[in-house]
Amino acid sequence: EDLLRRAQGVKIALIAFAADPHMINPLTDDMEAIRHLLPSLYTDLVYVQGSRLSPAFEMASHMLASEPGNNKSILVITDGGFEDASTITTARKLASKSIVIHTMGIGSTEGAPVKDAKGNFIKQNGALVISKLEAEKLKEVSKAGGGHYIKAHYSDRDSRVVLDQLAARAEAEQAKKH
């Protein structure tokens, strides 16, 4: 919400990911369209549980390929609990295409059980699914993607950091043209 409220002149898409990525909203400057969809994002939207980030990166990359200019970024908002080993390789590949990857860590290092839309705890193979912040993994992804790691904050400080990074990159692109 904070990011959408503060984003001026920025196009944003929304991709949810689990075992597979899901396009929630394509690139748009209509922040109300995305804001309208946020309350419908629940863990039970996906049919195949898991957490693979590389396919979501690929989906985002295809979306960004059709956009003009070189100021393209991906913001991953997660606890870092993704499982695929190819994430770092994919992040480097996108960085080589001038797509910067920022990560925003949510949750705590102690962790907590994950609930579905009905308030029930999610289980996998009979055990509770525990979400723990894996900040070091997220820092590694953002480093490979040429971006920054940001810890989610209850204020809009995290959103300001992300948008400031986009603005700085846009200014650098403009300076190259002159």
pLDDT tens column, 47-91: 556 688 999 999 999 999 988 888 899 999 889 888 878 999 999
Q: Could you give the CA distance from residue 160 to residue 138 in angstroms, rounded to a whole number?
A: 19
Compute the half-sphere exposure of residue 53: CA atoms within 13 Å on the CB side of its CA: 25
DSSP state of 60: H
Percent of the chain with pLDDT over 90: 31
Query: In 10 A of CB 1, how many CB atoms?
Result: 11
DSSP H or E run through 28: strand 21-28
pTM, to two decimals: 0.80
Positions in the chain short of pLDDT 70:
42-50, 154-178
- By C-alpha distance, which of 118, 116, 144, 160 is closest to 53? 144
Tokens representing residue 124 in the block: 């996998």
pLDDT value, residue 114? 80
